[in-house]
A and B are shown apart, each in its own frame.
Chain A
């Protein structure tokens, strides 16, 4: 502990005064996982090899690696090492208040149909709703908000996520319709700042009115609003440039934080359940002149070809549609509903076959482990295990522009690793430990049991027993 503090102090000093100097020699820590099966994702599987970690970064990987004498050596025989899993659209590590609402939304829960105030319960500690009369009121627009500024290392869900092998999540603010910028965060670390890998994962857009009353009240209105907002941002950019070039002749544009937030967006996340919404969103993204990532993509099996053509990545919600547990037994479902329910788990295989870059979201899942179980269903229906793994690792890193640091076991990448007793998608496999930034985490006891028989839910003690 003292040593860690000292190291942190030195690191802070270094950052402040001598950022270009190498870290002092005595702060170097080496960790080696030896004799393990190593699934690198970016390259071939190493049946028996070593991963060497230096100060939280992968220094070497291979069948033959020289391990320094001072290294802490972990015997990996009989174990498999994977890159840490990435939840590509998540709320892990963000304030809990927003969580219940997001989960409800992910399940398609609608606000109550009663004569309103539907939004109030969904808006904890937010200012009272304002009536928007048009785009100029910037309804539901929080484009200056950054998830990176909200990350909480104390979130108990982080432990649950690590238990299932997740080491990274891409988290987004969710309030309003332009909800703010996401961040790629590691699921371990002493401070929020340590956890953030990048604060610029993209801008989260939603098509359900929230956070205001008035305009826009429909998805149609929201799309029109997005277009106007982006046009305003472009005009703002031009006005700033003219002012900078000639302040005598051109007026100084009024500061507008809503459009400032837009101008910095690397990409936008847009919802698309099926082909119809996909076409809408691809057109919208083209009009906004901003690369899009589509999320939801339940009917990916019908969308793969078009997504490939458009070069648009997808983040799958793997909470496969199912008949409501308490649905009216006499309620007849349409052929289309049944088809979607049957075919949704085949989306991953279809997307991989078409060459679409896709990743996975934990949205709406009861536990992080359930994400793996859901993908196992897809594997049973034709998805290759390596494609499933790639979706959970390198694909997600590529989609969010952090593939130089995350997503595979390669020299120079952040040492985010999962050490498991076998194949990650097998039900009997246990996660023995994970590494985040080179720091080892052992499995934690699970959270209290949910109501018995909740779908997709395993017993709570399974990881706990392993310790």
Chain B
């Protein structure tokens, strides 16, 4: 099952890569500039022209989208797909690790998510620690190697987390983690109070480290011969956060701890944070909006643990109306389940909260792009932006809609018809290989058993 999807997808690289592509006569949801029936011209991987009437260059590949809908590639601001390690849970501050190192371009989740219309995702370190590891934003260019996937225009970021996940390993009553259940393995903090302490302590240490290096640079500039400070890979990313060079994605649920975190960020002058999950965000939406932080939440997924009970499906809409920049995410890890239907997740904010189509689509396109600070290049259909586009057979906010084609940087990575028509061939290839190996193994056994 997995196998043929993989093999098929490999062949998808062979899909057309004409220099100029025109997607004609579709319903174009630009998200930022309205919706209309029109066409899109793609040149050199970028959107060259969008409009009700466009000039069709000679020699262009024409894709007839009559009756179909085009939206910008979906951006998932919070996933854990395609990572060979997710949680370095042994310590409460694991900022020295980076999931980018563990990005696995062979993970089938990439293809599946992409076939669901996702073109960019933020694959993050897990939520086992108050300050977690470094995250990776990548384009779902199935077939590329790890370096080819990484979207290097995205600003680096780090994961943080509050509440149950991070304190349970510090509590004798907490969830038993294999290998960590003996008392000497308990990890501070064991309470929400301790979580705040760990975060404040880490950023305080980062400030001291920053100062240490500045002093060193100053002395060196004066011509002194000095031993440089020891480099500290745990604190370096935190210094980047303090200097505004690294974004923060903070996993949180309860209103009280969200307020705590906002105060910590105020004290350390940390701006532009995206609160993740933030299920009680509707209670403190004003406080979040005032500080200009963002929120990435679920449409209607909760009650999977105590701190996730006081949730409502109106959360996204309320925060949005209070001025918070809101996105919807999948939090997918192993498979790409929710990630394949983020379009219907977006549709739910119309049902619960009465947002418009554009507002709903924005929550899975331009809003997460802004949160990842890549909105200059992706997140809407505008001339000059990357040609990351999804063609649906029906209105993308309908549960009946299916993704037909996906383009990333103007290159087609998915074609539904081709996927389906190739399956028998790939299944046959696989079966042939299976038989061949079976025969080889049968032959091999007697050969090794010569009489003695």
Interface residues of A (CB under 8 A from B): 113, 115-116, 118, 131-135, 213-221, 223-225, 227-228, 231-232, 235, 238-239, 242, 250, 275-276, 279-280, 283-284, 322-323, 332-339, 341-342, 373, 453, 455-462
* SS of B interface (majority): loop
Q: Which residues of A contact B231 (CB under 8 A)?
A: 228, 231, 235
Q: Could you say which of B87, B89, B91 contacts A133, with CB atoms under 8 Å apart? A: B91
Report A-chain residues with C-beta under 8 Å of the C-beta of B176: 115
Contact, CB under 8 Å: B184 / A221: no
Q: Does B172 contact A (CB under 8 A)?
A: no
**Residues on A with beta carbons closer than 8 Å to the beta carbon of B94:** 215, 221
Q: How far is the CA of A323 from the CA of B7 in the complex (A)?
A: 20
Which listed segment binds A: B72-80, B98-106, B377-385? B98-106
User: Contact: A459 with B450, CB < 8 Å?
Assistant: yes
Contact A224 B96 (CB under 8 A): yes
Tell me the number of A-to-B contacts counted with CB atoms below 8 Å: 151
Asked if residues A235 and B230 are in contact (CB atoms below 8 Å), the reply is yes
Residue B228, interface by CB 8 Å: yes
Contact A223 B448 (CB under 8 A): no
B93 — nearest CB in chain A belongs to which residue? A134
A116 vs B234: C-alpha distance in the bound complex, in angstroms?
A: 28
Q: Would A219 and B85 count as touching, CB distance under 8 A?
A: yes
A-B CB contact pairs (8 Å), 25 listed:
A133-B91, A213-B185, A215-B94, A217-B89, A218-B97, A218-B102, A220-B88, A220-B98, A221-B85, A223-B97, A224-B96, A227-B233, A228-B233, A276-B84, A276-B105, A276-B106, A323-B437, A334-B6, A335-B4, A338-B430, A453-B445, A458-B448, A460-B452, A461-B452, A462-B452
A118 vs B452: C-alpha distance in the bound complex, in angstroms? Answer: 40
Where the two chains meet, the residues of B that have a C-beta atom closer than 8 Å to any C-beta of A are 1-4, 6-7, 84-85, 87-91, 94, 96-99, 101-102, 104-106, 133, 145-147, 176, 178-181, 184-185, 225, 227-228, 230-234, 426, 429-430, 433-434, 436-437, 441, 444-445, 448-452
> What 3 A-B pairs are tightest by C-beta distance, nearest first?
A335-B3, A459-B452, A220-B85
- Tell whether A455 pairs with B106 under 8 Å between CB atoms, given A213-B179, A220-B133, A339-B433: no
Q: Are A336 and B147 in contact (CB under 8 A)?
A: no
Contact status B1-A276, CB under 8 Å: no
Known: A218-B87, A462-B452. A213 touches B180 (CB 8 A): yes
A218 and B227: CB pair below 8 A? no
- Are A276's CB and B452's CB within 8 A? no
* CB nearest to A113 among chain B residues: B178
Residues in B neighbouring A131, C-beta threshold 8 A: 184-185
Please name all residues of chain B whose beta carbon is closer than 8 Å to the beta carbon of A213 when the two chains form the complex. 90, 179-180, 185
Choose from A216, A227, A338, A455 the contact partner of B88 (Cβ within 8 Å). A216
Minimal beta-carbon separation of A38 from chain B (angstroms): 29
Give the chain B neighbours of A115 by CB distance below 8 A.
176, 178-179, 181
Check if B227 sits within 8 Å of A334, measured CB to CB.
no
B430 and A335 contact, CB distance less than 8 A: yes
| Contact, CB under 8 Å: B448 / A455 | yes
**Contact residues in B for A223 (Cβ distance below 8 Å):** 97, 101
Q: Considering the complex, give the chain B residue whose CB is closest to the CB of A215.
A: B90
CA distance A280 to B85 in the complex (A): 13
19 other A-B residue contacts (CB within 8 Å) besides A213-B185, A228-B232, A231-B233: A116-B178, A135-B96, A213-B179, A217-B89, A217-B90, A217-B179, A220-B97, A228-B96, A228-B233, A250-B227, A280-B146, A334-B2, A334-B3, A335-B6, A335-B429, A335-B430, A342-B436, A453-B445, A462-B450
Q: Which residues of A contact B429 (CB under 8 A)?
A: 335
Give the Cβ gap from B116 to chain A, nearest Cβ, in Å: 21
Closest A residue, CB atoms, query B432: A338
Asked if A456 contacts B84 (CB within 8 A), the reply is no
Which of A118, A238, A323 interacts with B228 by CB under 8 Å?
A238
Q: Are B106 and A280 in contact (CB under 8 A)?
A: no
- Point out the residues of chain B lying under 8 angstroms from A460, CB to CB: 452
Closest-by-CB residue of B relative to A139 is B90
Q: Do residues A221 and B106 form an inter-chain contact, with CB atoms below 8 A? A: no
What is the CA–CA distance of A220 and B136 in the complex, to the nearest angstrom? 13
CB-CB < 8 A to A461: which residues of B? 452
Interface centre among B4, B178, B452 (most CB of A within 10 A): B452
A215 touches B3 (CB 8 A): no
Contacts of A322 in B (CB 8 A): 441
**For B227, what are the chain A residues with a Cβ–Cβ distance below 8 Å?**
235, 238-239, 242, 250
Whether the Cβ atoms of A336 and B106 lie closer than 8 Å is yes
The chain B residue with its CB closest to the CB of A217 is B90
Contact of B101 among A220, A275, A458 (CB under 8 A): A220
> Bound state CA distance, A239 and B96, in angstroms?
23
Q: How many angstroms between the C-alpha atoms of A280 and B448 in the bound complex?
A: 37
Q: How far is the CB of B287 from chain A (nearest CB, A)?
A: 34
Chain B residues in 8 Å Cβ range of A283: 101
CB neighbours of B84 from chain A (8 A): 219-220, 276
Of all chain A residues, the one with the shortest Cβ separation from B232 is A228
In the complex, what residues of B have CB within 8 A of residue A276's CB?
A: 84, 104-106, 145-146
Selected contact of A217 from candidates B88, B99, B437, B444, CB within 8 Å: B88
Q: In the assembly, what is the distance between CA of A231 and CA of B230, in Å? A: 8
A346 to B102, CA, bound (A): 27
User: Which of B88, B104, B233 is within 8 Å of A218, CB to CB?
Assistant: B88
Chain B residues with CB below 8 A from A239, complex form: 227
A255 to B437, CA, bound (A): 56
- List the A residue with the shortest CB-CB distance to B2: A334
Contact among B232, B437, B448 for A341, CB-based, below 8 A: B437
Nearest chain-A residue to B429 (Cβ)?
A: A335
